[in-house]
A and B are shown apart, each in its own frame.
Chain A
Amino acid sequence: MKRAHALLLLLVVLLLAIPAAPIESRTYVLQVLTFMFVSVVLAQSYDIVGGQMGYVNLGHITFFAVGAYAFGILFNLNMGLLASLALGTAVVVVFAALISYPFFRLRGAYFSLAAFGLVKLMEQLTINLGWLTGGSNGLKVTPGNRVLAMYYASLGVVAAVVVASWLIERSRLGLALKTIREDEEVAEDFGVPTFRVKAQALILSAVFPAIIGGLYTWYINFIDPNQVYGLSVALTPVAMAMLGGSGVLVGPVLGAVFLYLMQELIYTQTAHLHGAMMGLVIVLVGLFMPGGLVRLGPVARVLRRLGLTVEEA
């Protein structure tokens, strides 16, 4: 395990030190990384329910969106950064708890699409409650120079969600999630309190997008429904998790980093057809890397040696 720890330490030091790097495009690099961290948090937190538990939650983005709006509204009431974040996250947790019971009566594709329906509903609600959210004109918060703070804060949330996923995986909750994923009926027969477990997983998966959503609003200082509920924003975390390898600890992280950097590369180096190239990359991974990047021969071997076991698909 020493090799794994050394590598991890190196990565952490690198990430912490980048703001001090003496390159002129430092702020640009920080911004690129910051938005990448947001993607990582969304993909990784999605996978708690999507990968560990096997319920493809196409509605995961609502936690991000509600967190973003809740923060914005509270921050505009002069509640300060930390209080707004905390309270905003609490709102999302309550929201997750409320929807878990009705939605977890559904299984498979029914659950996934009903969850997606929730995104559209919340989007419309946000637009219609204009007095609260600013409607289709969006919500703004007072701006400020927050590049550095946002970088470290989002890096912190990334660390938190990865550690949390790791802890869940090794806990009794994680075991319960796995049994539900493999065969829910059998799990019930064996006395696993499935409803409670599913609700717990959903709530846990909701905390991190809520926090990063609030930070996102704080950083970009203007959000509108399309930005936080949009189709691509909703589907990207799922695609990232699947691409990287759903159900494996570092799968979503890998998928998010890979896809995000690919996007940065493609979009700034070529004049046209970026979307087509991105699509092609995703198709190729789907065709030739079943189980995602993380189960690809060389990658899997590396991860195994690093002590991050890869389950057999």
Chain B
Amino acid sequence: MSVTIAVQLVVNGILLGGVYALAAFGLSLIFGVSGVLNLAHGEFLMGGGLLVWLAWDLTGLNPFLLTAMIAPLAFGAGYLFEKGLIRPLAQRKEHVRLASAVLVTLGAALMMEDIADFLSLNTQYEKSVDLFLPTIVLDKVYLPSLKLVILGLVLALIAGLFLFLKRTYLGLAVQAVTQNRRGALLNGVNTVRINAIAFGIGTVLAAVAGGFEVVDTYVAPNIGLPLTLKYLCIIVMGGLGSFAGVALGGIIIGLGEAIVGFFQPAWGQTVAFLLLVAILLIRPKGLFGR
């Protein structure tokens, strides 16, 4: 295998992993703060992608611009989702709350998928934005510009997320709640509002990832649940509550899929789960789990 192909694969892998990591961050944030594994997370990604596509189909504006424009909508959707469906469960005992959260978020996911399905009734099912930027060729390695742009935006967003968490009051409050809910409460943090905000931010990340997805490949009503499960695997693999773990987890899975996909196409998509099981057997709490 030549060096060019090797480099190509690594580039592909990092690009793949970057987009995974973005959506997984959102899920990890939500889990860290509220303790809920949001099974509807992938649906927000799908919804974001569909909205961007719809807006693009109607206006022809740049899809990245459109993605930025739907971000506030996504925040609102996540905030309301938490307020309406998750907050009522807060007072329940842990086992009950877990089961209830599973039911509520799974039911919501089914609803969102089917409504998107219904709205696609007289149009196409799979939606993809046609945007092509010329490929950069560096010494026989093909760097698709579009993917590079996406990667750049993903990195910028992740950097923004980190700055938010480390430098703003809200961000510090979010970290506090993640580490010790009661302690944060005792220190005057409005944990109820932080929950909702975390959901909002997490949903924005998912929707933005959806906007990238619809440009890079495609979006369809039925992609939500399988993606949610992939992201759950990433955050569990990285260690619940660890952001570094998510980043590493995403990259590992992206690289794994690209490299394994080249040698053994049949195993490409399963690599994520194979790695998950393998890593958990070695480190039962994930890579950086506490």
Chain A residues with CB under 8 Å of chain B are: 54, 56, 102, 105-107, 109-110, 113-114, 116-118, 120-121, 123-124, 127-128, 231, 235, 238-239, 242-243, 246-247, 272-276, 278-287, 290-292, 313
Contacts and interface: CB of A to CB of B under 8 A. Distances in A.
Given A113-B276, A127-B266, A242 B114 contact: no
Given A113-B232, A275-B111, A278-B110, 17 more contacts: A105-B281, A106-B284, A107-B284, A110-B285, A113-B276, A114-B236, A114-B280, A117-B272, A120-B270, A121-B270, A127-B266, A128-B267, A231-B225, A231-B229, A276-B115, A279-B114, A287-B100
Interface string B96-110: 101111111011111
Interface string B264-284: 001101101110110011001
- For B89, B104, B107, B272, the residue with the greatest tally of chain A CB atoms inside 10 Å of its CB is B107
Contacts of B88: 287
B133 interface: no
Given A231-B225, A231-B229, A292-B99, A110 B114 contact: no
B216 interface: no
A272 B121 contact: yes
Secondary structure dominating the interface of A: helix
Main secondary structure of the interface of B (DSSP, over half): helix
Residue among A123, A247, A287 with the most chain B CB within 10 A? A287
Contacts of B274: 117, 121
Contacts of B104: 282-283, 286-287
Nearest to A123: B270
Contacts of A116: 229, 232-233, 273
Interface string B58-88: 0000000000000000000000000001001
B277 A282 contact: no
29 contacts: A54-B95, A102-B281, A109-B37, A113-B233, A114-B281, A123-B270, A124-B269, A231-B225, A242-B99, A242-B103, A272-B121, A274-B114, A275-B110, A275-B114, A276-B111, A278-B114, A279-B109, A279-B112, A280-B107, A282-B106, A282-B110, A283-B108, A284-B107, A285-B107, A287-B88, A287-B89, A287-B104, A291-B96, A313-B96
